[in-house]
Amino acid sequence: MKGQKQAVIDEVLAQLPNFVRFKDKAILALSNTQLESVKENVRAGIQSGLIEYSKSLSDVGEVRTYARSMVMNHLKKAKELNGNMIPGQAGSGPKAVKLKDPAKKGVDMTLLPEDFREYLSNLV
Protein backbone atom coordinates (compact mmCIF):
# COMPACT_ATOMS: atom_id res chain seq x y z
CA MET A 1 0.00 0.00 0.00
CA LYS A 2 1.30 3.41 -1.01
CA GLY A 3 1.27 6.55 1.17
CA GLN A 4 -0.91 9.46 0.12
CA LYS A 5 1.93 11.92 -0.45
CA GLN A 6 3.88 9.44 -2.54
CA ALA A 7 0.77 8.65 -4.56
CA VAL A 8 0.29 12.33 -5.42
CA ILE A 9 3.98 12.70 -6.33
CA ASP A 10 3.80 9.61 -8.56
CA GLU A 11 0.68 10.88 -10.30
CA VAL A 12 2.23 14.30 -10.94
CA LEU A 13 5.34 12.64 -12.37
CA ALA A 14 3.12 10.48 -14.59
CA GLN A 15 1.38 13.60 -15.92
CA LEU A 16 4.58 15.69 -16.18
CA PRO A 17 7.49 13.42 -17.20
CA ASN A 18 9.97 16.35 -17.30
CA PHE A 19 8.94 17.66 -13.87
CA VAL A 20 11.93 18.38 -11.57
CA ARG A 21 11.12 17.59 -7.95
CA PHE A 22 12.09 20.22 -5.34
CA LYS A 23 12.49 22.79 -8.14
CA ASP A 24 9.35 23.02 -10.29
CA LYS A 25 5.91 23.97 -9.01
CA ALA A 26 3.37 21.33 -9.95
CA ILE A 27 0.35 23.55 -9.36
CA LEU A 28 1.62 25.89 -12.10
CA ALA A 29 2.85 23.19 -14.46
CA LEU A 30 -0.30 21.03 -14.52
CA SER A 31 -3.05 21.91 -16.95
CA ASN A 32 -6.62 21.73 -15.65
CA THR A 33 -7.12 18.41 -17.45
CA GLN A 34 -3.92 16.98 -15.95
CA LEU A 35 -4.86 18.20 -12.47
CA GLU A 36 -8.29 16.58 -12.71
CA SER A 37 -6.61 13.38 -13.90
CA VAL A 38 -4.28 13.39 -10.87
CA LYS A 39 -7.25 13.86 -8.54
CA GLU A 40 -9.26 11.11 -10.22
CA ASN A 41 -6.36 8.64 -10.28
CA VAL A 42 -5.69 9.22 -6.57
CA ARG A 43 -9.39 8.71 -5.83
CA ALA A 44 -9.39 5.49 -7.81
CA GLY A 45 -6.27 4.31 -5.97
CA ILE A 46 -7.91 4.97 -2.62
CA GLN A 47 -11.11 3.20 -3.68
CA SER A 48 -9.16 0.16 -4.88
CA GLY A 49 -7.14 0.00 -1.65
CA LEU A 50 -3.78 0.82 -3.26
CA ILE A 51 -3.43 4.15 -1.41
CA GLU A 52 -3.70 4.58 2.36
CA TYR A 53 -7.06 5.76 3.67
CA SER A 54 -8.20 5.36 7.26
CA LYS A 55 -11.97 5.79 6.85
CA SER A 56 -14.63 3.59 5.33
CA LEU A 57 -14.56 3.24 1.56
CA SER A 58 -18.34 2.79 1.39
CA ASP A 59 -19.12 6.51 0.95
CA VAL A 60 -17.79 7.16 -2.56
CA GLY A 61 -18.67 10.86 -2.42
CA GLU A 62 -16.68 11.36 0.77
CA VAL A 63 -13.68 9.52 -0.70
CA ARG A 64 -13.86 11.70 -3.82
CA THR A 65 -14.03 14.93 -1.80
CA TYR A 66 -11.21 13.77 0.46
CA ALA A 67 -8.97 12.77 -2.47
CA ARG A 68 -9.46 16.10 -4.25
CA SER A 69 -8.67 18.09 -1.12
CA MET A 70 -5.70 15.91 -0.22
CA VAL A 71 -4.19 16.27 -3.71
CA MET A 72 -4.45 20.07 -3.56
CA ASN A 73 -2.96 20.07 -0.06
CA HIS A 74 0.08 18.07 -1.20
CA LEU A 75 0.51 20.21 -4.33
CA LYS A 76 0.72 23.30 -2.12
CA LYS A 77 2.67 21.93 0.85
CA ALA A 78 4.88 19.04 -0.31
CA LYS A 79 8.37 20.44 -0.96
CA GLU A 80 8.84 17.91 -3.77
CA LEU A 81 5.92 19.50 -5.62
CA ASN A 82 6.03 23.17 -4.65
CA GLY A 83 9.57 24.16 -5.61
CA ASN A 84 10.96 23.40 -2.12
CA MET A 85 9.04 26.33 -0.63
CA ILE A 86 7.92 26.40 2.98
CA PRO A 87 4.15 27.10 3.02
CA GLY A 88 3.49 30.71 3.97
CA GLN A 89 7.05 31.77 3.14
CA ALA A 90 7.53 34.52 0.60
CA GLY A 91 8.98 33.40 -2.71
CA SER A 92 12.29 34.48 -4.17
CA GLY A 93 10.56 36.81 -6.62
CA PRO A 94 10.90 40.57 -6.73
CA LYS A 95 10.69 42.31 -3.38
CA ALA A 96 8.12 45.02 -2.76
CA VAL A 97 9.56 48.50 -2.43
CA LYS A 98 7.94 50.70 0.18
CA LEU A 99 7.36 54.14 -1.28
CA LYS A 100 7.06 57.23 0.82
CA ASP A 101 3.51 58.46 1.16
CA PRO A 102 3.31 61.78 -0.76
CA ALA A 103 0.16 62.76 1.15
CA LYS A 104 2.21 63.22 4.32
CA LYS A 105 4.37 65.92 2.77
CA GLY A 106 1.49 67.88 1.27
CA VAL A 107 1.25 69.49 -2.12
CA ASP A 108 3.86 71.83 -3.53
CA MET A 109 1.59 74.82 -4.18
CA THR A 110 4.13 76.47 -6.48
CA LEU A 111 3.52 73.74 -9.05
CA LEU A 112 -0.21 74.52 -9.31
CA PRO A 113 -1.74 77.12 -11.64
CA GLU A 114 -2.46 80.50 -10.01
CA ASP A 115 -6.24 80.22 -10.26
CA PHE A 116 -6.23 76.78 -8.64
CA ARG A 117 -3.98 78.03 -5.80
CA GLU A 118 -6.46 80.83 -5.09
CA TYR A 119 -9.37 78.38 -5.11
CA LEU A 120 -7.55 76.09 -2.63
CA SER A 121 -6.63 78.97 -0.33
CA ASN A 122 -10.34 79.93 -0.13
CA LEU A 123 -11.23 76.40 0.99
CA VAL A 124 -9.01 76.43 4.06
* 19 inside domain: yes
Checking if the pLDDT of 97 tops 90, the result is no
Chain centroid offset of residue 72 CA: 9
Give residues with Cβ within 8 angstroms of 88, minimum separation 6: none
Q: Say what the pLDDT of residue 119 is.
A: 85
Count up the domains in the chain and report the number.
1
- Phi/psi of residue 63, each to 5°? -65, -40
* 21 inside domain: yes
Q: Say what the pLDDT of residue 43 is.
A: 97
Task: Give me the domain span that covers residue 40.
Answer: 4-77
Is 0.85 surpassed by the pTM of this model? no
Q: pLDDT category, 86, cuts 50, 70, 90?
A: confident
Checking if the pLDDT of 104 tops 60, the result is no
* 104 inside domain: no
Mean pLDDT across the stretch 53-72? 95
* 97 inside domain: no
- The residue ranges of DSSP E strands in the chain, in sequence order, are none
